[in-house]
Amino acid sequence: MIDADDLVQLVHNYNPRTNEDLIRRAYDYGRAMHKGQFRHSGEEYFTHPVAVAAILTEMRLDDSTIITALLHDTIEDTKSTYSEVAERFGSEVAELVDGVTKLTNLQLSSSETKQAENFRKLFMAMSKDLRVILVKLADRLHNMRTIRSLPHEKQVRKARETMDIFAPLAGRMGMQWMREELEDLAFRVLNPEGRNSIIRRFITLQRETGDVVNRITSDIRLELDKAGIEADVFGRAKKPYAIWRKMEEKEQGFSRLSDIYGFRIITRSESDCYRALGAIHQRWRAVPGRFKDYISQPKSNGYRSIHTTVSGRDGKRVEVQIRTREMHEVAEAGVAAHWAYRDGVRAENRFAVDPAKWIASLTERFETADDHDEFLEHVKLEMYSDQVFCFTPKGDVVKLPRGATPLDYAYGIHTRIGDSCVGAKVDGIRVPLWTRLKNGQSVEIITAEGQRPQPTWLDIVVTGRAKAAIRRSLREEDRERFVKLGGELARVAFEHVGKKATEKALKTAAKQMGLPSHTELLARLGSAELSARAVVETLYPELAAGKSDEIEASRAVIGLSGDQTYQRAGCCQPVPGERIVGITYRGRGVVVHAIDCPVLIEVEDQPDRWVDLQWHSGQHPAVHTVSLDMTIANDSGVLGRICTLIGEQKANISDLHFLDRKPDYYRLIVDVDLRDVEHLHTVMLALEAESDVAELGRHRDPGRKPMGG
């Protein structure tokens, strides 16, 4: 563990005016508070806060942030209090420690609704003081570096949370080095074999080609010297996870992946950046479509650099980044560069973004989110976005995330433009609305009065703003229909627990769920944005807990009149989750068919017999029989393994008969009792993965009689 003197020296190296006494007192106080506490590895617990503080010294952060790191777990895990920390170290440190404590208690990987609410709290903490997030990121980085001592299940949970939340957040804040390390540490836990395979291939490649990085670095230095450009050149192989992600995105094997090396040129001036770019492009051929100028169009977190990819030695692609020393400091520290010290004073970096303005720009577009899901979608899209820059016909710049379409562009200008969009021109040429925009393109939107957003647009757009606007418009258009359907769903759900869906009950539920009215609640029920079970659980948690496990088979279908009964069609054997329709039969009530059942052709000219039905939402009992037609190997023990496999998926075999027996295979029909279509897919997936199953499909028999409802 680093002692107090070593930590003070680390801070003193970049801030000679540091308050050494205050840091030492914080060190001693934190160590005393955590005395007797140990980590899973068996080390003293205080080794962790000290390591977090050391990580933050690498970013040259101020004394308050370093002291916060030393004390960040005291209020939560020891007898220390907010008032005591404030009295000893000042209100600024106490506020920061309290902020980190609150973040630690957020379960960011919990259920969707709770996760969205916790993200709101996360961004609120960021808006108060971004240093809270910097301490939390350093805390997560050290925990990931030492994750091996945790139980495996906890390792996986922490690694997934790191990959989904903390790594993208670090990237969004401009700390690319931290993002890459967090991703790679999480990758080591989530896919150790994949990571090891990348490392093994790298070792083989180096053995075959020698030290490529040193050779290319020397080549670049030579070209810069010829052009009289003074600069530092660094090269490295990309992290295993970055390579794995490229392999996944491009669907290529390691041997076909070319740009696995990255090089960085740090120049003395901005003009030298462009001179260096010219020297590189004169020496090597530029790869089309791989040039980005973030100097003339900086990212919102202050990042500035020129990116280009060229064909280097032996046709190998290499990525080159060119920037000045000031730009490099921001690229390394991101938003944290605002607090960085040099020689005892706050470093004046003209490229460092003001954290208050940055967080305001990040959160302003979240304000339009109507509910938890939309907010969560906004946040995740914002954190993962890599920007493209397009131009309006007047030459103004519009920033969009990578993969954005003309529809995203239209909604980015104004909701009214997006809602009335009927077409788009890119660089003067008419293109489909699903076209992916590229850097530097000029976009013109064609509108028409009376045009309304289409449901298919949701699959075209990628920005949270566009998705929210389209959903809002569709919701308004279909509101009346959704309210009516939502009323029916609420009635059935409430009756299931012996209650009535009165207006007062629905108003109470709406208020409890943070919705403006009971009509809005019904509209969201009808549009499937809210489940009837969630509404019932809000008002009657005890009743819901006792009865929400399974839906009675007799009540599984919605849309029947009070005196109607139903049977499942034996020909298509529909299961919950599939689209269905009812056909009335004299003396047999309503027979429920899958919407794609061939038998429906026989009654297509008798619309008066058709009944609009849907399955009740929720968990159904495993009583819906489906016949599976399978061909299996004729070997000893195969049939037993198949039956065991089905049982392991919590499905029951109700019947089994052979259609054909050959010396090398059997063909048989197995009747399996299932809950719903998801349960069916689970069973079939497990069977398809079995090497002794040659063929598998659902058995459809047009002549089979209806089955009991």
Which residues are catalytically annotated? 76-77
- Asked whether the beta carbons of 432 and 469 are under 8 A apart, the reply is no
Q: Are strands 589-594 and 580-585 parallel, antiparallel or unpaired?
A: antiparallel
Q: What are phi and psi of 442, to 5 degrees?
A: -100, 130
- Look at residues 521, 488, 502, 519 and name the one whose alpha carbon lies nearest to residue 613: 488
Q: How many CA atoms lie within 13 A of 183 on its CB side?
A: 19
Structure tokens at 509: 């539920």
- Beta strand segments in 597-651, E: 610-612, 614-615, 624-633
Report d(CA 262, CA 194) in Å as an integer. Answer: 21
- Beta strand segments in 118-275, E: 231-237, 261-267
Looking at beta carbons, which pairs linking 192-197 to residues 24 or more positions away fall under 8 Å? 194/244, 195/240, 195/241, 195/244, 197/254
Q: Classify 557 as helix, strand or coil.
A: strand
Report d(CA 576, CA 674) in Å as an integer. Answer: 9
Q: Classify 163 as helix, strand or coil.
A: helix
Q: Classify 430 as helix, strand or coil.
A: strand
Report d(CA 119, CA 165) in Å as an integer. Answer: 10
Q: Classify 399 as helix, strand or coil.
A: strand
Q: Would you call 464 exposed, middle or buried from its count of C-beta atoms within 10 A (0-12, 13-18, 19+)? A: buried
- Asked whether the beta carbons of 96 and 65 are under 8 A apart, the reply is yes
Q: Would you call 105 exposed, middle or buried from its count of C-beta atoms within 10 A (0-12, 13-18, 19+)? A: exposed
Q: Would you call 109 exposed, middle or buried from its count of C-beta atoms within 10 A (0-12, 13-18, 19+)? A: middle
Report d(CA 30, CA 95) in Å as an integer. Answer: 16
Distances (CA, A) of 344 to 353, 372, 605: 20, 44, 86
| SS3 sequence of 256-290 | HCCCCEEEEEEECCHHHHHHHHHHHHHHCEECCCC
Report d(CA 423, CA 49) in Å as an integer. Answer: 56
Q: Classify 507 as helix, strand or coil.
A: helix
Residues 6+ apart with CB under 8 A from 290: 307, 308, 309, 319
- Asked whether the beta carbons of 489 and 456 are under 8 A apart, the reply is no
| SS3 sequence of 454-477 | CCCHHHHCCCHHHHHHHHHHHHHH
Structure tokens at 138: 């350093």
- Asked whether the beta carbons of 627 and 699 are under 8 A apart, the reply is yes
Partners of residue 269 on adjacent β-strands: none
What amino acid is encoded at 687 in this protein? L
